[in-house]
Amino acid sequence: YNENRVSVPFSRLDTNLVNALIATEDARFFRHSGIDLQALFRSVFGVLTGSNKGGGSTITQQLAKMMFPRNRLSRFSLVFRKFKEWIIAVKLERIYSKQEIIALYLNKFDFLNQAVGIQSAARIYFNTSPDSLSVEQSAMLIGMAKNPSLFNPIRKPEKTIQRRNIVLSQMEKYGYLTTSEKLKYQSRPLG
């Protein structure tokens, strides 16, 4: 009872919520086994050249990180911890289906404001359930995954709208929305 969380199975997650998560956090989610080498190399290259090209962590790696939170670590310990997270991610991929991993991720994520997990987040932010979220609502919640305190709709609605619109653009980029749908959803308020 430390967290306001109710687990939701994959079957009760709205398709747009899942599509927003994949388009934004891990576009090749269904084509890797826990570690996306292409994203990893892109991330390392970005760090070495000083050009941020996006993160290298997969949804599964992010789940492993959430399961075993990091405290303040030295640089060496952080690198060692990252290797452990890779091993855990590969093991998670062997044990669970892709759908179960998505459900675990969304059920574990802390959306702030007493909303741990997608069931609580849908209820607290939109007074609905995860299978009834609209496209723009799904995009806002997935946008929070980058940094929930920075993209907190209660404290920073303008930044949250900008982030939601980026998620909607990602959904268009990967074919989950048409351009006209994206523009329609981007024009809507947070609600």
How far apart are the C-alpha atoms of 98 and 92, rounded to whole Å? 10
Residue whose tokens read 């570690």? 35
End-to-end CA distance of the chain: 29
How far apart are the C-alpha atoms of 163 and 150, rounded to whole Å? 10
The tens digit of pLDDT for each residue in 111-131 reads 999 899 999 999 999 999 999
How far apart are the C-alpha atoms of 108 and 96, rounded to whole Å? 15
pLDDT for 71: 74
How far apart are the C-alpha atoms of 184 and 182, rounded to whole Å? 5
Task: Report the pLDDT averaged over residues 82-90.
Answer: 89
Secondary structure of residue 27 in the 3-state scheme: coil
Look up residue 76 and give its amino acid: F
Handedness of CA 102, 103, 109, 115 (dihedral sign): positive
How far apart are the C-alpha atoms of 143 and 118, rounded to whole Å? 13
**pTM here?**
0.88
Confidence of residue 101 (pLDDT cuts 50, 70, 90): very high
How far apart are the C-alpha atoms of 5 and 191, rounded to whole Å? 22
Q: Is the pLDDT of residue 1 over 90?
A: no
The tens digit of pLDDT for each residue in 24-50 reads 999 999 988 887 766 665 655 555 566
